[in-house]
Amino acid sequence: MDLESSVETLAIHGGTPVRESVLPYGRQWVDEEDIEAVVRVMQSDFLTTGPEVAEFEQAFAVFSGAVEAVAVSSGTAALHAMMYGIGIGPGDEVIVPALTFVASANCVLFQGGTPILADIHPETLLMDPDRIEEKITSRTKAILAVDFAGRPSDYDALREISNRSGLRLVSDACHAFGATRHGQKVGTLADATAFSLHPVKHMTAGEGGLVTTNDPDLASRMRIFRNHGITTDHRQREAKGSWFYEMADLGYNYRLTDIQCALGKSQLRKLPDWVSRRQEIAGVYDAAFRDLAEIETPATQADVSHAYHLYAIQLELSRLSCTRAEVFSALRAEGIGVNVHYIPVHLHPYYRQRFDYRAGDIPYAEAAYERLISLPIFPRMKDTDVEDVIRAVGKVLSHYKK
Ligand SMILES: *Cc1c(COP(=O)(O)O)cnc(C)c1O
């Protein structure tokens, strides 16, 4: 496709849009098999705390290569359970990258701890291991890596730092289902790893989350935490013919229903193909945008398999006669449902006010944020949808390039 030749009027200026209907940046894929699985559970004895939960957990543990998977009601609940599980409490500090969804940092606050926001590496957009040690104090208890966009963090370097300083290493892999690093699966590279089952993620249960770990005691703590801190669940008591239960610690109702676990189990069967399809779309984008000097595409790394929850391009603003906001609006007008991930955590009003953060405090995360645009990527996209995105990006950039 010759991107240079397009001199068409942009849709935002009254021209014909590339697409009539808006292509979203991400979208779930629910088929008949999924619907039948849900209906079967709705007609069964257990809508929650039934057999589907353990079956889904086991299937996900197998998929991720971890010993245990604990299902909870959201990705945020997964992060909270993980913080509880590793014993984060008042006064404790956890190092978290600034370029992430707010829940990655909020989970530390839920436990009374303090998230210490660290800067990213400008190329990978992941927490830069070289900027972590300066953040470690006597109060630091853990490092929480975020596999931004689906790219696995540098777990080797992070493990070295956490071992040296006696810290726990945990991961927010809500973007990174099926990603690998040196052939090792995300889900096994930290002490515990959190996933989200929100519809925009790789697979869905409507809402939901999971934590994987190789530590059965940690898994057991998180299962108690998701059930009010009570040490047995309803079905375990029924099996023993006992009414007796004890609340050993303060927990929440973070359970995932059997209805949702049935959907999750059915979706999981399709997940490996969906990850491949995302990678295939990313490959088509990479090739199409290779010679476009106005954007930087996600860096490819040897021996790292990126799961592409997001395909996040960065604008070369010095080569453009406009801002990110203008490119964003122009692409939306062309029918391309672009998005921006993320406003750095410290720039949100709550964090600014509570921790006195200011613009300029975390420079690489802020610089990336000014340039980032997420293009549509999801397994159900047709090849023609991918072509529309490429055509719209070429059209808009050739209009605004200097
Ligand atoms: C989606 C997401 C979460 C939160 O997941 P929910 O299921 O929406 O609670 C946390 N962290 C990251 C990086 C996410 O993308």
| The residue type at 177 | F
Alpha carbons 337 and 123: distance in angstroms, whole number:
24
Cis, bond preceding 342 (omega within 30 deg of 0): yes
Residue 96 lies in a domain: yes
Instruction: Determine the pLDDT at residue 238.
Output: 81
Alpha carbons 156 and 172: distance in angstroms, whole number:
16
What CATH number is associated with residue 389? 3.90.1150.10
* 220 and 166 housed in the same domain: yes
176 C-alpha vs ligand 1 centroid, how far in Å? 11
Question: Percent of the chain scored above 90 by pLDDT?
Answer: 94
Q: Which two tokens stand for residue 114?
A: 């303090």
> Which residue has its alpha carbon closest to ligand 1 atom 3?
75
* 24 and 38 housed in the same domain: no
* 134 and 51 housed in the same domain: yes
Residue 296 lies in a domain: yes
- Helical H runs in 180-225? 216-225
* 233 and 299 housed in the same domain: no
Instruction: Determine the pLDDT at residue 352.
Output: 98
Nearest-atom index, ligand 1, CA of 77: 9
Residue 344 lies in a domain: no
78 C-alpha vs ligand 1 centroid, how far in Å? 9
* 166 and 293 housed in the same domain: no
* 146 and 276 housed in the same domain: no
Question: Which of 240, 268, 296 is where one domain is finished?
Answer: 268
Question: Which of 251, 268, 285 is where one domain is finished?
Answer: 268
Instruction: Determine the pLDDT at residue 2.
Output: 47
Structural domain count of the chain: 2
* 282 and 230 housed in the same domain: no
Alpha carbons 74 and 390: distance in angstroms, whole number:
33
Residue 229 lies in a domain: yes
Q: Where in 270-334 does DSSP place strands (E)?
A: 295-296, 304-305, 311-315
Instruction: Assess whether pLDDT exceeds 50 at residue 228.
Output: yes
277 C-alpha vs ligand 1 centroid, how far in Å? 22
Question: Which of 208, 235, 268 is where one domain is finished?
Answer: 268
First to last CA, the chain: 21
Active-site residue list:
201
Instruction: Assess whether pLDDT exceeds 60 at residue 5.
Output: no
- C-alpha angle 258-34-184 in degrees, rounded to nearest 5: 80
DSSP string computed for 98-125: SSS-THHHHHHHHTT-EEEEE-B-TTT-
Residue 247 lies in a domain: yes
- C-alpha angle 127-131-136 in degrees, rounded to nearest 5: 105
* 254 and 285 housed in the same domain: no
| The residue type at 316 | E
* 234 and 112 housed in the same domain: yes
Instruction: Assess whether pLDDT exceeds 60 at residue 59.
Output: yes
Instruction: Determine the pLDDT at residue 343.
Output: 98
Closest CA to 344 of 364, 317, 316, 319: 364
pTM above 0.85, yes or no: yes
Question: Percent of the chain scored above 70 by pLDDT?
Answer: 98
Nearest-atom index, ligand 1, CA of 147: 13
What CATH number is associated with residue 142? 3.40.640.10
Phi/psi-derived region of residue 318, left when phi > 0, alpha when psi is between -120 and 50, beta in every other case: alpha
pLDDT in tens, 155-209: 999 999 999 999 999 999 999 999 999 999 999 999 999 999 999 999 999 999 9
* 300 and 184 housed in the same domain: no
**Mutational test site, ligand 1, from 25, 80, 109, 172, max ligand atoms within 8 Å of CB:** 172
Q: Which two tokens stand for residue 201?
A: 């993620």
* 228 and 281 housed in the same domain: no
Alpha carbons 275 and 306: distance in angstroms, whole number:
9
| The residue type at 106 | N
195 C-alpha vs ligand 1 centroid, how far in Å? 7
Instruction: Assess whether pLDDT exceeds 90 at residue 240.
Output: no
CB contact at 8 A, 206 and 226: no
Q: How many CB atoms are closer than 10 A to CB 134?
A: 9
Burial (CB < 10 A; 0-12, 13-18, 19+), residue 146, is buried
Nearest-atom index, ligand 1, CA of 207: 7
User: Which residue ranges have their beta carbon within 6 Å of ligand 1?
Assistant: 74-76, 100-101, 103-104, 146, 172, 174-175, 196, 198, 209
CA 169 to chain centre: 17
> Which residue has its alpha carbon closest to ligand 1 atom 2?
174
> Which residue has its alpha carbon closest to ligand 1 atom 5?
75
Alpha carbons 121 and 182: distance in angstroms, whole number:
20
Residue 190 lies in a domain: yes
Provide the residue range defining the domain that includes 134: 32-268
* 108 and 18 housed in the same domain: no
Closest CA to 108 of 181, 53, 61, 172: 172
Nearest-atom index, ligand 1, CA of 104: 11
Q: Is the dihedral of CA 354, 360, 361, 366 positive or negative?
A: positive
Alpha carbons 86 and 260: distance in angstroms, whole number:
26
Alpha carbons 75 and 201: distance in angstroms, whole number:
10
**Helices H / strands E in the chain, number of each:** 13, 13
228 C-alpha vs ligand 1 centroid, how far in Å? 22
Backbone angles phi, psi at 134, to 5 degrees: -65, -15
| The residue type at 56 | F
Instruction: Determine the pLDDT at residue 1.
Output: 46
